[in-house]
Amino acid sequence: MTFDELGLSQKVLAAVQTSGYTAPTPIQAQAIPPALQGRDILGIAQTGTGKTAAFTLPMLSRLESGRARARVPRTLILEPTRELAAQVEESFAKYGKNHRLNVALLIGGVSFGDQEAKIMRGVDVLIATPGRLLDFFDRGKLLLTGIEILVIDEADRMLDMGFIPDIERVCKLVPFTRQTLFFSATMPPEITRLTEAFLHNPIRCEVSRAATTATTIRQALVASRGHADKRETLRNLIRDAENFKNAIIFCNRKRDVAILHRSLVKHGFSAGALHGDMDQLARMASLDAFKNGDVSLIVCSDVAARGLDIPDVSHVLNFDVPTHSEDYVHRIGRTGRAGRSGVALTIVTEDDMKYIDQIQSLIGKAIDWEGPGFDALPPPMETIRPQERRGGRAERGPRRERGRRPEAEREAPIRRPAAEREAPVSMGRPRGGRPKPEQEGFRSPSPACAAAPAAERRERRPRRHDDDGPPVVGLGDHVPSFLLRPVALRSAKVGEE
Ligand code: AMP
């Protein structure tokens, strides 16, 4: 099939030709003709399938007749994240270059004033995240009564992010007669209910099972002994990777994104970060730096990276195994796009194995292991006591009883090779910085320290503990022996002298 057969306008076809696309992707071939006829669409497709153009191209064709009025947008596209919204705006700029349409972005983190001014001028295409859209609506800055086409993109992600009540509200605010184009990678029951309530006799277009992973991606699992060793495992993966150009690194938690990012930079890697707590300008700057090649690594959370279309990513590195197996599919889909080859490596500890089993059953195949298995790995960092790692004496005093290792083991302390000790990233601290009671020689930061400003805490952190975790306070793990010596108290009799 060719684009000419889909019924798109000449202006749109000319823009598609300039993009260099030779044939429509399956979702485009299925969705564009009925969308041009004004039918509702239920598209079950992942990012990377060409679904943005599947709704952008027919919208552009249909918008050629009619004009926008102040405060009354003609079409509305809802996206779960700011990055996706910005990406859709880019698509309109690319495919709509032969049109004179006003496109506005309503996303958090950008000044209200500029956005309001755009809406006042009249908007043909409004691309928004649900929260900011309803904020504008509730302030009376916007009317939704002129919406001719409503696009709900990444609906399952909206569900994960708790946006479904907002989506339902928007669906009730737009005219009943509008056309709805609805896209989701998966169809959990809540999403099915939503489509039953708000789509009118939709054409269902399903391009592939959400659980399938592209055959262009080489996937592998890499064993890591414990949480404390994962950063070192990651650094080795990056250093040893073949055909490495750049990598998206995924963490499960926003906090860990920041920690890992700092750690990589400290170890001399050129890295950026992307997570939901960063302000919009910082997010865009990070993303641009990665896209332009100014940094070759970007550490991300799932929400921030969902659906990002960065065409040429050579590696996806899962620093954490995703706890929702569908996230695995989305993460690794950031590489191997548009027929290119890609590599997706996942760092796995023994605790993660239950999630690996779930992922393998979702994708319907076993993922190969790369490098030594758990049994062949060097001992975990957290079994090595801090005193031993520093080459110091075994700790004395009352605290040494806790988690003490057997006598024989203490006689021959486990040491890591010097090269490994050079980068004492974890120093036996558990991931996330919270000491575990069974770990010897750790102290929580005092509440006062925990509450201290970040800069101050950085100051106090000993330099050789070159990674993130609670700063050592007071004497740290070392208690000078004179403090442990019994104090002889002479009893003084009253009246003596
Ligand atoms: P999407 O699923 O919308 O994120 O698109 C994934 C990538 O496919 C984007 O980089 C698009 O530019 C590209 N793309 C979209 N349609 C086509 C097409 N018909 N032929 C080749 N690439 C396409």
The pLDDT tens digits for 60-76 are 999 999 889 999 999 99
Mutation test residue for ligand 1: of 51, 309, 335, the one with most atoms within 8 Å of CB: 309
User: What does the alpha-carbon distance between residue 339 and residue 215 come to, in Å, rounded to a whole number?
Assistant: 9
Helix (H) or strand (E) holding 15, with range, is helix 10-19
Q: Is 50 in the pocket of ligand 1 (CB under 6 A)?
A: yes
Helix 280-292 to helix 82-95 angle, to the nearest 10 degrees? 60
- Closest ligand 1 atom, residue 46 Cα: 2
At 257, is the secondary structure helix, strand, or coil? helix
Q: Span 486-493, mean pLDDT?
A: 52
Amino acid at 217: I
Sign of the dihedral defined by the CA atoms of residues 177, 178, 179, 183, in that order: negative
Closest CA to 428 of 372, 470, 375: 470
Q: Does residue 21 line the site of ligand 1, with CB under 6 A? A: yes
Q: Please report the atom of ligand 1 found closest to the CA of residue 21.
A: 20
- % of residues, the chain, pLDDT over 70: 73
User: In this prediction, what percent of the chain has a pLDDT beyond 90?
Assistant: 54
Nearest residue CA, atom 23 of ligand 1?
50
Residue 305: alpha-carbon gap to chain centroid: 4
pLDDT at 389: 44
**Is 270 exposed, middle or buried (CB count within 10 Å of its CB: 0-12, 13-18, 19+)?**
middle
Query: SS3 letters for 134-203?
Result: HHHHHCCCCCCCCCCEEEECCHHHHHHCCCHHHHHHHHHHCCCCCEEEEEECCCCHHHHHHHHHHCCCCE
Residue 248, token pair as written in the block? 């998206």
Region 441-446 average pLDDT: 30
Residue 430 has pLDDT above 50, yes or no: no
Ligand 1 lined by 261 (C-beta under 6 Å): no
Mean pLDDT of 450-462: 35
Looking at the chain, the domain(s) classified CATH 3.40.50.300 span 3-206, 217-379
| pLDDT value at residue 489 | 54
pLDDT band at 324 (very low <50, low <70, confident <90, very high): confident
Separation of first and last alpha carbons in the chain = 111
Q: Is 311 in the pocket of ligand 1 (CB under 6 A)?
A: yes
Check if the beta carbon of residue 181 is closer than 8 Å to that of residue 149: yes
Q: Tens digit of pLDDT for each residue in 326-376?
A: 889 888 888 877 667 889 999 999 999 999 999 998 888 899 999 888 887
Other CB atoms closer than 10 Å to residue 89's CB: what's the count? 18
Task: Please give the Cα distance from 72 to 137 (Å, whole number).
Answer: 11
Give the position, in ligand 1's atom list, of the atom nearest the Cα of 311. Answer: 10
Q: What is the pLDDT of residues 104-151, one digit of tens each?
A: 999 988 888 889 999 999 999 999 999 999 999 999 999 999 999 999
**Whether the predicted pLDDT of 390 surpasses 90:** no
Check whether 487 has a pLDDT greater than 80: no
User: In this predicted structure, what is the pLDDT of residue 404?
Assistant: 31
> To the nearest whole number, what is the mean pLDDT of the chain?
78
Residue of minimum CA distance from atom 15 in ligand 1: 50
pLDDT at 112: 85
Contact (Cβ atoms closer than 8 angstroms) between residue 167 and residue 155: yes
Atom of ligand 1 nearest to the CA of 307: 4
Whose Cα sits closest to atom 14 in ligand 1?
A: 50
Listed residue (123, 12, 3) closest to 58, CA to CA: 12
Is the C-beta atom of 52 inside 6 A of ligand 1?
yes
Query: Measured between alpha carbons, how far is 18 from 168 in angstroms, rounded to an integer?
Result: 38
Q: Is 333 in the pocket of ligand 1 (CB under 6 A)?
A: no
d(CA 30, CA 35): 9
Ligand 1 atom 11: the closest Cα is on which residue? 50
- Please report which confidence band the pLDDT of residue 436 belongs to, taking 50, 70 and 90 as the band edges: very low
**Residue 17: CB partners within 8 Å, gap ≥ 6?**
3
Question: Ligand 1, residues 2, 21, 94, 183: which to mutate, most atoms within 8 A of Cβ?
Answer: 21
Alpha helices (H) in 333-442, listed in sequence order: 353-363, 386-389, 407-411, 418-421
Query: How far is 53 from 25, CA to CA, in rounded Å?
Result: 9
Query: What's the rounded Cα separation, in Å, for the pair 488 and 20?
Result: 87
3-state DSSP: the chain helix, strand, coil percent, rounded to 5? Answer: 40, 15, 45
DSSP one-letter string for 435-451: PPTTSTT--PPPHHHHH
> Is pLDDT above 50 for 15?
yes
Question: Residue 232 pLDDT more than 90?
Answer: yes
In this structure, the chain runs to a length of 497
Q: CATH number of 217-379: 3.30.360.10, 3.40.50.300, 3.40.50.1010, 3.20.20.70?
A: 3.40.50.300
| pLDDT score, position 466 | 34
Helix (H) or strand (E) holding 263: helix 254-266
State the pLDDT confidence band at 444, using cuts at 50, 70 and 90.
Answer: very low
Q: In the CATH hierarchy, which fold is given to the domain comprising 3-206?
A: Rossmann fold (3.40.50)
Q: Which amino acid is at 361?
A: S
- Binned at pLDDT 50, 70 and 90, residue 16 comes out as very high
Q: Which of the two residues, 259 and 413, has the higher pLDDT score?
A: 259
pLDDT at 481: 58
49: Cβ below 6 Å to ligand 1?
Answer: yes
**One-letter amino acid for residue 265 of the chain:** V
CA 23 – ligand 1 centroid, Å: 11
